[in-house]
Structure 1
Amino acid sequence: MATFLYARVSTAEQTLEHQQAQAEAAGFIFDHVIADKGVSGVSVPMMDRPEGKRLFDMLRAGDTLVVRWVDRLGRNYSDVTETIKTFLSRGVVVRTIINGMTFDGSTKDPMQMAVRDALIAFMAATAQAQAEATKEAQKAGIAHAKAKDDAYRGRKPSFTRAQVDTVRDLLASETCIAEVARISGLSRQTVYRIQADPEGVEKALALWEG
């Protein structure tokens, strides 16, 4: 029986090392670290990712798969739910770092199965909804920035793209504001701003990103 960490980053500012460090800080020890870099969780299914396919090939009954949250598996509802369902049917235990969730396919009790599957579905739907909301905010922010190329950019944002992504991931998993601030390295006030004004945040990033 082995423990695997699967990490995925889709932008240059995100780091695989951060996900591994976060997992190790939570007390996990890994036999294998599998990572996909620069791969979208929205448009690229798990089985079509180079390391995602490798993970499918390596996992065996009794193994444990650790991910920061289900959005690392993907941000497409159907793909995430099918991926987790496949792993559970193989006897793999899936655990998340954020919120400390454990999904085990060994139970045969229909009520426990229903609760487990409903929770997986909710988390997968949340991951997709967050991705769609972020995309719309990005489009609005970029369009606003392009429309005012000569506009005064104002003060440089106190947050980076990677920090914004982290905040949104944590908020989507219902992590409390104080913990989000601690993990992201931002003030509570900044976290509240990212939460309340997604278009404004994307506008600020668009004006200052190259």
Structure 2
Amino acid sequence: MFVRAYLRASTKEQDANRARADLEAFAAERGLQIAATYLENESGASLQRPELFRLLSDSRAGDVLLIEQVDRLSRLNAADWDKLKTEIRSRQVKVVALDLPTSWSMLSSTTDEFTQRMFDAINGMMLDMIAAIARKDYDDRRRRQAQGIVKAKADGRYRGRPEDAERNAAIVAMLKSGQTWNTIVKATGCSRSTLARLAKRTQTSVEA
């Protein structure tokens, strides 16, 4: 049994590595060692998470997917959560979360078959419930954000997201130096729409 740690943050400005020490301590307390760590800066509401699926691809039956909280694994809608669960089950990977004590039993190799099946059923139910709560929290925050923007616009206070002046200056310099759009997107993580806006602003005619 290999323990594989998955660490996720929603944006590149957040530290996906933040919980590494907690996961390592949790494993060490149980006489286990984390065999591999997978870091990702992607939204938990999206299935487009290369590192998560690389972890699953690397896993063998009985391996453990260790996470700090269930919402690090999923803020997915019901359909996407079912797809992810199907992938996890097909690979016979055990999900263990620090915030879900019922999942800790998955680390035991001495439990009899009946007890293990009971733990599996309870853990699956709890995972479903917490994943649903995580999705509701995500939807609620987005709704409140949208309501706040509408109100701010009505009051004449909305200015949109502040521009990352330092990053954009670097992108403009890369455009002027003749680097391709694909190279710039890969290097900076900016969207092509942002790149197009900056290229238009500087009247730079660089082709992708």
Q: Please give the TM-score of this superposition, normalised by the length of structure 2.
A: 0.58
Q: Please list the CA deviations of residues 175-210 of structure 1 after superposition, one character each: whole Å capped at 9, or x if unmatched.
A: xxxxxxxxxxxxxxxxxxxxxxxxxxxxxxxxxxxx
Q: 1:17-56 to 2 correspondence within 5 Å? A: 17-28=17-28, 29-37=33-41, 39-42=42-45, 44-45=46-47, 48-56=48-56
Kept in 2: contact 1:4–1:66 (CA 8 A): yes
Q: 1:92-107 to 2 correspondence within 5 Å? A: 92-102=93-103, 104=106
Kept in 1: contact 2:70–2:130 (CA 8 A): yes
Q: Which amino acid aligns with 1:59?
A: S
Q: Which residue of 1 aligns with 2:139?
A: 132
Please report how far the alpha carbon of residue 144 of structure 1 lies from its aligned counterpart in structure 2 after TM superposition. 2.6
* Long gaps (5+) in structure 2: 159-208
Cα RMSD of the aligned pairs, angstroms, is: 3.0
Q: Work out the number of aligned pairs and report it.
A: 147
Whole-angstrom distance in 1 between the partners of 2:149 and 2:22 = 31
Q: 1:60-139 to 2 correspondence within 5 Å? A: 60-76=60-76, 77-102=78-103, 104=106, 112-139=119-146
Q: Please give the TM-score of this superposition, normalised by the length of structure 1.
A: 0.58
Q: Which residue of 2 aligns with 1:145?
A: 152
Please report how far the alpha carbon of residue 75 of structure 1 lies from its aligned counterpart in structure 2 after TM superposition. 1.0
Whole-angstrom distance in 2 between the partners of 1:143 and 1:12 = 27
Q: Which has the higher contact order (CA 8 A, sep 6+)?
A: 1
Q: Please list the CA deviations of residues 137-177 of structure 1 after superposition, one character each: whole Å capped at 9, or x if unmatched.
A: 111223333333459xxxxxxxxxxxxxxxxxxxxxxxxxx
* Long gaps (5+) in structure 1: 152-210
